[in-house]
Amino acid sequence: MRVVDIRERTVDISRYADPSIPPGGLTTSIVALTTDVVRNGRSVVGFGFSSVGRFGQGGLIRERFAPRLIAAGAVDPLEAWAAMMKGEKPGGHGERCVAVGTIDMALWDAAAKIADLPLHAFLRRRLGDRGSPSAVPVYASGGYRYPEDDLSRLKDELRRFRDSGYRRAKIKIGAAPLARDLARVAAAAEIFPAPQSLAVDAMNSYQSNAAIAAAEALRPCGLMWLEDVCDPLDFDAQSAVTAVYDGPVAAGEALFSAAEAKLLDRHGGLRRDRDILLFDPVHCYGLPGYLQIVETMEGRGWRRSAFWPHGGHLFGLHVASALGLGGTEVNPSSFPPFGGLIDGAVLSEGNATPSDLPGVGFEGIGALDRLFRGL
């Protein structure tokens, strides 16, 4: 497969379609990667985007990584990383890892389309079938703070998740005083009352003392996990939290390499028998970088079931299914049209099955398909 063109556009990406909720000011890059392979008279095109939570990567994609990939000639998705990273020094991951991961998603989409396979099946063929089922445990992610009527609107949102078949959900904390956050957790637990069916995400907002106070206050709640309590590189604070919080904690969303993963494991106080690893396959230089993290952490005693990829989109679902991971995030109402499952998808026992559409299956989300084809 030879890449002959890569087009990028930076687009706004809002936390919710609801205009009353602050969008957060985020952007993402969408890319269309055209190959030299022709099917039914048309070039095969792979689509990708920069996951969520960072910003668009247009400059890096257009000036550095796309030209290198196009100049490399025929490429395999597992080998494309070396072509894109030619001349780059180790370390200093910054945002370049997201730029590479954006193109990587489009590469896998194109390669699976060429093989006429859904991505999860294509990955099993390439990486080795672990015998894992296609269905993946998922949780509905959302629960941002509403500017008005926060508790009642939060419960309405969670009811929609529950009524759509989700058995697990995650809400945000850390943007308000602790007492207010505890009220949010109590309200959410009315909708998801089962033990370990509700997670909370502090979005790396706490300093050390506040993180410990939150952990102590949340300890009796029986949460699925407590996520991103402090700065991702503040391993002292992370360790202090796990010292007082005996429930699962989740970390790794804002770390982007195998070297950083080793630091988290060595210094972050995580416990391999219960804690969760949230590395984002797109933000970790794409799937090749993510595989390095999985291999590294498995070598240090972690189970694959501890991995629940961040992102909440179709690519993460395919990766979790193919690699036999513990589960994955889904954004049913956040970051439209990038989050969620394909139109009309039905959950079974709180699990989601990747679509059988060739590639990632972006064409199964009407609004997202139109956005990509606008490139």
Of residues 7, 9, 11, the one with CA closest to residue 338: 11
State yes or no: is 86 an active-site residue.
no
Residue 203 contacts by C-beta under 8 Å, 6 or more apart in sequence? Answer: 172, 174, 175, 228
Choose the catalytic residue: 120, 283, 310, 318: 310
Distance from C-alpha of 373 to C-alpha of 375, rounded to nearest angstrom: 5
Choose the catalytic residue: 120, 172, 283, 313: 172
State yes or no: is 310 an active-site residue.
yes
Distance from C-alpha of 370 to C-alpha of 372, rounded to nearest angstrom: 6
Distance from C-alpha of 61 to C-alpha of 73, rounded to nearest angstrom: 17
3-class secondary structure, 137: strand
Residue 216 contacts by C-beta under 8 Å, 6 or more apart in sequence? Answer: 244, 245
Find where tokens 């194109």 sit. Answer: 110
Find where tokens 């559409």 sit. Answer: 357
Distance from C-alpha of 323 to C-alpha of 101, rounded to nearest angstrom: 18
Annotated catalytic sites, by residue? 172, 310
